[in-house]
Structure 1
Amino acid sequence: MQGIGTRRPVRRLMMRGLALAATAVALTACFGDYDGLRPTAGVDTQTRTASLFGGMFTRRTFSEPTTMPAEEVACRRRLKRLDVTFEDIPRIDDGGGCGIAWPVKVSGLPRGVKLSPEGTFTCAMAEALAKWTDDELVPAARLRYLSGVDTIRQGSSYSCRSIRGEGKLSAHATGDAIDIMDITLNSGRSIDVHKPGFFSFREKSLLSTVREDACPYFSTVLGPGYNRDHRNHFHFDMMKRSSGYRVCK
């Protein structure tokens, strides 16, 4: 009888150990891969394993994403506060200096303004575009037309190409530029950025104002009248120049 009494505590300990092990395995299966604070798109990964109970049970292998830089995380928080509709997409690397390390695809801007087609940018470029839309474009349209802005129609965002006639990469090649072709108001009126007619006073006023007011938001602002290549659109970009010089023409 004494021997039987000694075995029972040992058996209970073994059963508890097995129950704990089974619970650990179940939790690992449920939560092993999840990390809601880290990005998963377009990042390199490294693999690791962990063992439980001295190797009796082995945790399954999982990928741990490289952490997004703090400035990129902060930028995305600002986009959300600005009510920008965007999604993170995988890293773009087209070679020759073309690409975006942490790209975002934008389909909506502040105040319900749609971007059509959706554009691919760096987060910094998306933020500058959002602020210009919110602070300058929409108020200017309401002042002149008593209407908000429905859609910005863009002709180019990210594109691996060089500046025509210069050979060096365009700001489009790094996701730091946009070409704006047309602005459609909530009233249905469409305002073509192409130089308006002689008597189109309100259109001229709106386009001139929003173009001039874009200069503090971007490092380059070009449009109709600058040269033939920009005769039908605004070109805004965030090209970095060593001198900090801005081009606003």
Structure 2
Amino acid sequence: MSGVGVVALAAFLAACTTGSVLSLQPAVDVGSSTASVPRIAEPLPRGAALEDAQSPAFEAPTVQSPDVFSPEMQADVSAEVQTAAMVRPRQGTGLQTLVPKDPYLAGYPRMDPPAAPGSYLPADEVDCRKQLKRLKVEFSDLAPIRDGQCGIDHPVKVSAIGSVKMKPAATLTCAMALTFSQWTKNELVPSARRRYFTGVRTINQGSSYSCRKIAGSRTLSEHGKGNALDIMSIELNNGKDIDVKKPGFFAFRQKGLLNTVRADGCQYFNTVLGPGYNYDHRNHFHFDIKDRRRVACH
């Protein structure tokens, strides 16, 4: 082959391996990043968050193909996958790897753990508490009560109904607390004002929640469900104490008040028992909201 032919062949081979002769562009990138050497991004501070690396100014590193990893680098990558989502320098290489702790959840917002069972209130319980607040009832939520057959899922402890104190504070279901508060505000207090020209200071109760059966039977009392309340006496603002126990023959105002609030209670409660019903109820009013076909008012 002549000298001219050798020169032409050499030029042809050079053009095939180094890019276009006219554009003077190489066929492979020989700059800061190549196919065999990963490009090093701008170093980030130790502990930088994944959100920092996702900013427009961040330039993600190019990851090597697995076939060129050395065993040492493979071990480094495995260790990095176990760490939190942050950028850390590899020992001895100066390379940086951006690896989220769980790559499948990296794009999702953080989720709080589910609430513990029993820590939420059903819609009807939430609404009941709103109504108690509208009536200005002072109450606190208690932990669920579990006592064999007895108990209350979402109990409340009532200490006052507006300006009327409850002594001692009564542990009830919210439904019973609401019904009793409505009776107190709409019937008891107005009746006391009409007959004694004064308001009610304190309601003295003898039993709210109590795990027991109905006397002389095997049936669970409504007290064991938090649906009942026994009223022993009523103290007025003028200091007068009205005992529910059957008053004397000449105690006309006291008898009138007790008879009125007892009868009005039948419009709110499903069970109203008091003096004259039996010996066990000789000294108190028993109110409850047991689900009945007919109201028991005695």
User: 2:50 and 2:260 mapped to 1: Cα distance?
Assistant: 69
Secondary structure of 2:42's match?
A: helix
Which consecutive residues of structure 2, in runs of 5 or more, have no partner in the other structure?
1-30, 33-38, 53-82, 86-99
Whole-angstrom distance in 2 between the partners of 1:52 and 1:60: 16
SS in structure 2 of the partner of residue 147 of structure 1: coil
CA contact (8 A) 1:91 1:103 kept: yes
- Select the structure of larger CA radius of gyration: 2
Give the CA deviation at 1:227: 0.5
Distance 2:220 2:241 in 1: 32
**2:128 alignment partner AA:** C
Q: Hey, what does 2:160 align to over in structure 1?
A: 108
Aligned-residue offset at 1:20: 6.3
The DSSP-based 3-state class of the residue aligned with 1:142 is helix
Which structure exhibits the higher relative contact order, with contacts defined as CA atoms closer than 8 Å and separated by 6 or more residues?
A: 1
Instruction: State the number of aligned residues.
Output: 210
Q: TM-score, length-normalised on structure 2?
A: 0.65
Give yes or no for contact 1:21–1:52 (8 Å, CA) kept in 2: no
2:296 maps to 247
Other-structure match for 2:3: none
Q: Which has the higher helix share?
A: 1
- State the shift of 1:65 in Å: 3.4
Q: Find the counterpart in structure 1 of residue 42 from structure 2.
A: 10
What are the superposed Cα offsets for residues 123-145 of structure 1, whole Å, 9 maximum, x if unpaired? 00000000000000000000000
CA positional deviation for 1:19: 5.0
Corresponding residue for residue 187 of structure 1: 238
CA positional deviation for 1:16: 10
Aligned partner letter, 2:233? D
Q: Distance in 1 between the 2:51 and 2:267 partners? A: 61
Q: CA shift at 1:167, angstroms?
A: 1.5
- Alpha-carbon distance in structure 2 between the residues aligned to 1:141 and 1:65: 46
Identical residues among aligned pairs (%): 54
Q: Which amino acid aligns with 2:130?
A: R
Query: Please, what TM-score do these two structures have when normalized by structure 1?
Result: 0.78
Asked if 1:238 corresponds to 2:289, the answer is yes
Q: How well do the aligned residues superpose, as a CA RMSD in angstroms?
A: 2.5
Higher strand share: 1
**Aligned residue number for residue 130 of structure 1:** 181
Please list, as runs of the form range in 1=range in 2, the aligned pairs for 1:67-106 lying within 5 A after superposition: 67-95=120-148, 97-106=149-158
* Cα separation, 1, equivalents of 2:140 and 2:134: 14
Indicate conservation of the 8 Å contact 1:154/1:180, yes or no: yes
Distance 1:240 1:114 in 2: 28
Gaps of 5+ in 1: 23-50
Task: Tell me if structure 2 keeps the 8 A contact 1:107–1:119.
Answer: yes
